[in-house]
Structure 1
Amino acid sequence: MKMDNSPARGTRDLLPATVAVRDHVLAQITEVYHRFGYQRIETPALENIERLTGGQGGENEKLIYRVLRRGLDETVAADTTLNELVDLGLRYDLTVPLTRFYGNNQASLPQPFRSFQVGPVWRAERPQKGRYRQFYQCDIDMLGEESVLAEVELIEATTEALAAVGLDGTTVRVSDRRFLSALAEGIGLPEAEWTGLFITLDKLDKVGWDGVRAELAGRGLEAERIDQLQASITGLQGIDPAKLADQLTASVPGLSDEVVADLSATADALRSLAETRPLTWEFDPTLVRGMGYYTGQIFEIVHPGSSGSVAGGGRYDRLIGRSLGRDVPACGFSIGFERIVDLLEGQARGESVAVLYEADVPLARVTGAARELRADGRSVSPIRRRGKFGAQLGRLEEWGFTSFVHLKSDTAGEIEERKLGDR
């Protein structure tokens, strides 16, 4: 029987040209985050299943890849439970592992700790464009900072990183889980039902208000309270950020002064940032974010070329306490690495030079030319001249090279570099 050599469903083999784009994007993002003082850490792909299923991952907990315990017999009893078979799982994000990491190592970390992580995560998704079962996340988190300095810095660093890779036209959407809780409390909804309300509101951009109203009615919410909720939310859409505090106080009387002050401080900082470089942002009362661990401000970055957000995050002040035994202020932002690479495919690429050499060119001359071209930090590869010249140049471009030089036996003096797209 012939073996199936295709990759696992929902995963991909990545060719060199594609990896070159990914490397370029990651290098640009890494350079920006390092300038902001974020230090890279690494966490394992496997986590204890109890941690992954602790109720803080929202819908993602339904998508965990579980790993069987070692030493199981080939067959098990019919009444064996899943918990008896599984003790580990593949991480579905980088935040849950980070909280364990911080709980174990916080005594030796600077305060506040600026963490930078990049690596693969796994979710049993239904594969489609932009959604894969194995994909990369790129996260920055600030742990131990209770003020909105964390939110503002995370937004500034992430928008600067996206600009560095060439992703223009993005918009930052900002909201607050405490604001959403005040809305739920204002319509008299018991706290036990808030999560269900948030899950329904999170579908607003997909099903519209008709769909949201129908689902809320199905949950037993009276039409009068649904009307009140809709009026409060729609009244805050598209408001002038300069009037955010007054509008919030008027629309949500039960909202605490602390929440209003925090959102106002973020708004002031983002307005100031927008005076120094292009930045588009808005307060979005419909923003929910699916994770159950958010406790304060939440944010997303959207791009017109993507059906979903290209980055998202928020404050999660109580998640680390599950590892450490005491709450620690924490806030994070995750870049949707795969979506960004898809948007930039064919655009963002590091410079890569091919040194095409004829068979009669001495190898010392070939390696010397390559060494000279590498001096400015670029990737350079000597490649033997073969076949039709134009066809070979076409293959070089397909392989991810951006320019070339042609060495012949009579080449002397300064070598001429030519862009592959200009031929």
Structure 2
Amino acid sequence: MDNSPARGTRDLLPSAVATRDHVLATITDVYHRFGYQRIETPALEDITRLTGGQGGENEKLLFQVLRRGLPAIVEAGTPLSELVDLGLRFDLTVPLTRFYGNNQAALPQPFRSFQFGPVWRAERPAKGRYRQFYQCDIDMIGEASVLAEVELIEATAAALAGVGLTGTTVRLSDRRYLSALAAAVGLDESAWSGFFIGLDKLDKIGWDGVRAELTGRGLPGEAVDAARERIEALTGLAADKVADALSDTIPSLADDVVADLGTVAGCLDDLAGLTWEFDPTLVRGMGYYTGQIFEVGHPSVSYSLAGGGRYDRLVGRSLGKDVPACGFSIGFERIVDMLGELPRADSVAVLFESDVPLARVFEVARGVRGDGRTAAVQPRSGKFGAQLGRLEAAGFTSFIHVKADTVEVEERPLGGK
């Protein structure tokens, strides 16, 4: 029998879990200090909710669950919709909107939500890419102003700094700006989606590659060139130049969009230790974004460590009316991989000989734990040196050897230190 995990999933050893626990505890503490309250949502959601067209490319990676009670053999030609009624969530945002729709009467306004849990996508397994992985999200629902954007960015930057990730950069843009850009260069609305997809690849294939891809999709070359010219005019802007540059470059962009981007840029500029930039090529793939979008990057990796944006129309699918909402998701797995294994915490093995009363052994262990440290009781077995080697490999930093004639215990470091 094969006892290995399913492809694209993995077992986690205690040392790996210890790192994950540390990262989660640090992030949780930061988010709690900003007023975010943790909730939980089910792993399974109604299939119609998960396939409503708002999950972008992730809907193609959806794990679907067969209905209960199906026969072992179904009639040929049976539509898939008659066989499936549930799916495993591919992110935490879609379940959050259902949660809010069901529970809004009992929630404060605005509602600051914090979620941590596994999600599933039918990815092609590869290094750093898993079919089951954890997401860590904060969202603010019910706040229409850019208070939400500024706070979410500040809280997430603080959380990343808290786990030791310095040197990050926040990239900021707006889906409404992207739509106005596409319209301004003469693209029909039916071509916008393809334009955004191609533009999102700029950092990987450069302008020549983007132009080749977009013209290959049938977009006019002069429109792509006009978009490039305007984008380059919006690159590398200081905070106090963002609003004017947007107004000059894309005159059709609504005044409130320009003002909001200028406000957020100014607030981010005031945050000590935070590096940010307005990125006119930032797209993000989710179809539910309606306003500002943002990502956090690090110079040591090519992918983003966190991302999010405003999704004012998604909650309405559950509630029947639109509610302003904005969220930020931390790439938990990526951060854990970057940090690697943490230094070992102080952990004591309490070894005892067979002729020592258990009451005495547990008294010694309680004394160690009383100092706020970790103590694990284990009987002496086998060769002493070999057992100490196994303890060190298991993460213990020191040991106490309790013998029948022990009066005062002596703690000794492991590893010959």
Q: Is the 8 A contact 1:166 1:348 kept in 2?
A: no
Shift, 1:365, TM fit: 4.0
Q: What is the rounded CA distance, in whole Å, between the counterparts of 1:392 and 1:231 in structure 2?
A: 68
Question: What residue is the counterpart of 2:317 in the other structure?
Answer: 322
- Describe how 1:16-415 pairs up with structure 2 within 5 A: 16-274=14-272, 278-347=273-342, 351-359=345-353, 362-375=357-370, 377-386=372-381, 391-401=386-396, 403-409=397-403
Whichever residue aligns with residue 334 of structure 1, its letter is S
How far does the alpha carbon of each residue in 1:31-65 deviate from its partner, in whole angstroms, 9 at most, with x for none? 11111111111111111111100000000000000
Shift, 1:399, TM fit: 2.6
Going from structure 1 to structure 2, the CA distance change for 1:82 and 1:201 (only over 3 Å counts) comes to same
Q: 2:242 aligns to what SS in structure 1? A: helix
Going from structure 1 to structure 2, the CA distance change for 1:214 and 1:27 (only over 3 Å counts) comes to same
Q: What is the rounded CA distance, in whole Å, between the counterparts of 1:406 and 1:64 in structure 2?
A: 52
Going from structure 1 to structure 2, the CA distance change for 1:5 and 1:302 (only over 3 Å counts) comes to same
Going from structure 1 to structure 2, the CA distance change for 1:327 and 1:406 (only over 3 Å counts) comes to same
Q: 1:121 aligns to what SS in structure 2? A: strand
Q: What is the rounded CA distance, in whole Å, between the counterparts of 1:210 and 1:400 in structure 2?
A: 52
Among all aligned residue pairs of Structure 1 and Structure 2, give the percentage whose two residues are the same amino acid. Answer: 70
- TM-score, reference length from structure 1: 0.92
Q: What is the rounded CA distance, in whole Å, between the counterparts of 2:290 and 2:245 in structure 1?
A: 22
Moved more, 255-264 or 51-60: 255-264
Q: Is the 8 A contact 1:21 1:348 kept in 2?
A: no
- Aligned residues between the structures: 415
How far does the alpha carbon of each residue in 1:238-287 deviate from its partner, in whole angstroms, 9 at most, with x for none? 2222321222222222222111111111111111112xxx2211111111
Whichever residue aligns with residue 373 of structure 1, its letter is V
Going from structure 1 to structure 2, the CA distance change for 1:375 and 1:256 (only over 3 Å counts) comes to farther
Shift, 1:323, TM fit: 0.8
Whichever residue aligns with residue 350 of structure 2, its letter is L
Q: Is the 8 A contact 2:140 2:326 kept in 1?
A: yes
Q: 1:79 aligns to what SS in structure 2? A: coil
Going from structure 1 to structure 2, the CA distance change for 1:415 and 1:138 (only over 3 Å counts) comes to farther
Q: Is the 8 A contact 1:355 1:366 kept in 2?
A: no
Q: 1:338 aligns to what SS in structure 2? A: helix
Selected match of 2:10 from 4, 8, 12: 12
Q: What is the rounded CA distance, in whole Å, between the counterparts of 1:238 and 1:417 in structure 2?
A: 57
Moved more, 238-247 or 317-326: 238-247
Whichever residue aligns with residue 299 of structure 1, its letter is F
Q: Is the 8 A contact 1:306 1:339 kept in 2?
A: no
Q: Is the 8 A contact 2:47 2:64 kept in 1?
A: yes
Going from structure 1 to structure 2, the CA distance change for 1:4 and 1:296 (only over 3 Å counts) comes to same
Q: Is the 8 A contact 1:69 1:88 kept in 2?
A: yes
Q: What is the rounded CA distance, in whole Å, between the counterparts of 1:10 and 1:52 in structure 2?
A: 21
CA RMSD in angstroms comes to 2.1
Whichever residue aligns with residue 345 of structure 1, its letter is G
Going from structure 1 to structure 2, the CA distance change for 1:242 and 1:371 (only over 3 Å counts) comes to farther
Shift, 1:367, TM fit: 2.3
How far does the alpha carbon of each residue in 1:295-340 deviate from its partner, in whole angstroms, 9 at most, with x for none? 1111111123333111111110000011101110100111111111
Where do 5+ consecutive residues of structure 1 fail to align? none
